[in-house]
Amino acid sequence: MDFQLTDQQRRMVAAVRDLAQSEFKTGARKYMDGTFPWDNMKKLAAIGVLGMSVPEAYGGLGLPVFDTALVLEEIAKTCYVTAMATLGEAGVQTRVIAKYAPESIRARILPKVVSGDCILAVCMTEPHAGTDVANYRTNATVKGDRVILNGCKTLISRAREAGMFVIFTRIDGRPGREGIGCVLLEPDTAGFEVTGTYHTMGGEDLHEIQFNGCELPIENLVIREDGFRKLLTAFNTQRCLNPSISLGLAEGAFDEARTYVKDRTVFGKAIGNFQGNRWKLAEMYREIEAARSILYRACMTANPFPDPLMAAIAKITCNEMALRVTSEAIQLHGGFGFTDEYAVSRLYRGARYGTLGGGTTETLRDLIGRRIMEAGESGEDLLAYDMLGGGDDAS
Ligand SMILES: Cc1cc2nc3c(=O)[nH]c(=O)nc-3n(C[C@H](O)[C@H](O)[C@H](O)COP(=O)(O)OP(=O)(O)OC[C@H]3O[C@@H](n4cnc5c(N)ncnc54)[C@H](O)[C@@H]3O)c2cc1C
């Protein structure tokens, strides 16, 4: 297994690192009030980053999962809100449009994603159905060449900025997971409304949105059936990208702590000179490196989608590691670490998101447990080193 970066990956990481460290880091605090980081997004668009998941035919870079994860990691070191906004353009919603939308929509929307002129929102969660997607009540009824959408989605990121909503919904009232499909909606559609806003501890706003008889052209019905399986396949990518943000947040907090322990003096010496604090730093670093290895390994299974088992393991490992590492970084800052003056409190708050989005840790532990039991039944050796295989496109 080769963990060396290619020259192209090194150049990309270096360009994003320079931008994030020189321009995103100092301004990160101003996005804690729900302000969308338009200025950062435009700078990322200028170096091609918003087109990471867009095929080259539409002006994007068409990068593999691993490269995308490396980029998100660099952004997250400095600004959680910008990393999340970038994930919105690189994640499942872009992949759904690129793979399932008709050419007319792809050609119109994808170049605007690349240029930062079309923010995408993905809508899965409903007030009574987050993890329990089989319980969706939002429904799209097909009537000739039109689709009528009714329902409500909640906790939706970027609903006030989005130019296109990728909405997972029941189709024609068909029950269960098999009855779920996907429609696209533009915000000027009659009957669409943003009806509520929640401000998060991470800094961004999430929204409730309603569809009251929204009439869509039939070409906006991009997945008619088996949408849940298709969603899950694409979601394994999200399960590598979400933890890359956790990894970056932990690395950012580690960097802050490493600097602080040199500068802060108590009892006549820098706090980094106390063995207990060095051990803290050693543990933080050890945890980061261990999690990073698992995440990179999961990313490398992508073909084009990562191995579901490895993606789940990587996600839990990075998400939970980031909680511990960012918390220890606050501890090393003492009481100042708890204030808004220092980046560590912001990084910690961002890290809290990881275990909640993109499949909660409980859901993923369930998935891992199920695979272990299935392997027991079939005699598959889960510990065999060569058992990993990335998922196909669920076409
Ligand atoms: C910052 C942020 C951004 C988000 N952005 C979006 C977005 O853009 N679009 C979108 O659609 N959603 C978004 N969400 C919502 C997110 O996807 C959901 O919060 C998530 O899917 C969990 O659903 P829920 O909140 O309804 O929790 P619930 O499903 O109600 O779960 C509550 C708790 O019960 C646990 N649980 C559930 N089922 C089981 C089980 N079978 N066994 C054991 N434990 C279980 C869960 O793990 C969790 O701990 C966002 C959330 C956050 C925090």
Bridging pattern class, strands 119-123 and 162-171: parallel
Question: Does the beta carbon of 200 sit less than 6 angstroms from any atom of ligand 1?
Answer: yes
* From-to residues of CATH 1.20.140.10 in the chain: 229-378
CATH class for domain 7-117?
A: mainly alpha
What gap in Å lies between CA 378 and CA 382, rounded to an integer?
Answer: 11
**Ligand 1 centroid to residue 202 C-alpha, Å:** 15
Residue 54 CA to its chain's centroid (Å): 16
Question: Does the beta carbon of 68 sit less than 6 angstroms from any atom of ligand 1?
Answer: no
CATH class for domain 229-378?
A: mainly alpha
What gap in Å lies between CA 133 and CA 228, rounded to an integer?
Answer: 8
What gap in Å lies between CA 129 and CA 151, rounded to an integer?
Answer: 12
Q: Are 90 and 53 in contact (CB under 8 A)?
A: yes
* From-to residues of CATH 2.40.110.10 in the chain: 120-225
Question: Does the beta carbon of 134 sit less than 6 angstroms from any atom of ligand 1?
Answer: no
**Ligand 1 centroid to residue 361 C-alpha, Å:** 10
DSSP per-residue letters across 38-70: HHHHHHHHHTTGGGTTS-GGGT-----HHHHHH
Cis geometry, peptide bond prior to residue 304 (ω within 30 degrees of 0): yes
The burial of 317, by beta-carbon neighbours within 10 Å (0-12 exposed, 13-18 middle, 19 or more buried), is given as buried
In the CATH hierarchy, which fold is given to the domain comprising 120-225?
Butyryl-CoA Dehydrogenase, subunit A; domain 2 (2.40.110)
- Structure-token match 């068909």, residue found: 174
3-state secondary structure of 31: helix
Pocket test for ligand 1, best of 93, 155, 368 (most atoms within 8 A of CB): 155
**How many residues are given for the chain?**
395
- Give residue 38's pLDDT: 97
Q: Of 256, 160, 167, 144, whose CA–CA distance to 204 is shortest?
A: 160
Q: Of 186, 189, 170, whose CA–CA distance to 178 is shortest?
A: 170
The torsion of the CA quartet 338, 359, 286, 12, rounded to 10 degrees, works out to -90
How far, in Å, are 111, 120, 141, 178, 220 from residue 105 at the CA level?
Answer: 10, 13, 21, 25, 8
Pocket test for ligand 1, best of 158, 197, 353, 356 (most atoms within 8 A of CB): 356
Model pLDDT for residues 366-378, shown as the tens digit of each residue:
999 999 999 999 9
Q: Which amino acid is at 347?
A: L
Question: Does the beta carbon of 123 sit less than 6 angstroms from any atom of ligand 1?
Answer: yes
What gap in Å lies between CA 205 and CA 199, rounded to an integer?
Answer: 5
What gap in Å lies between CA 184 and CA 93, rounded to an integer?
Answer: 10
* From-to residues of CATH 1.10.540.10 in the chain: 7-117
Model pLDDT for residues 255-313, shown as the tens digit of each residue:
999 999 999 999 999 999 999 999 999 999 999 999 999 999 999 988 788 999 999 99
**Ligand 1 centroid to residue 232 C-alpha, Å:** 15
- Give residue 391's pLDDT: 61
C-alpha dihedral sign at 166, 172, 176, 179: negative
Tens of pLDDT along the chain (395 residues) come to 777 899 999 999 999 999 999 999 999 999 999 999 999 999 999 999 999 999 999 999 999 999 999 999 999 999 999 999 999 999 999 999 999 999 999 999 999 999 999 999 999 999 999 998 889 999 999 999 999 999 999 999 999 999 999 999 999 999 988 899 999 999 999 999 999 999 999 999 999 999 999 999 999 999 997 778 887 777 888 999 999 999 999 999 999 999 999 999 999 999 999 999 999 999 999 999 999 999 999 999 887 889 999 999 999 999 999 999 999 999 999 999 999 999 999 999 999 999 999 999 999 999 999 999 999 999 988 988 665 666 655 54
| 391 DSSP 8-state letter | B
Question: Does the beta carbon of 156 sit less than 6 angstroms from any atom of ligand 1?
Answer: yes
pTM to 2 decimals? 0.96
- Structure-token match 């088996």, residue found: 226
**Ligand 1 centroid to residue 127 C-alpha, Å:** 10
Q: How many CA atoms lie within 13 A of 9 on its CB side?
A: 14
- Structure-token match 């991009």, residue found: 222
Residue 34: how many other CB atoms lie within 10 Å: 15
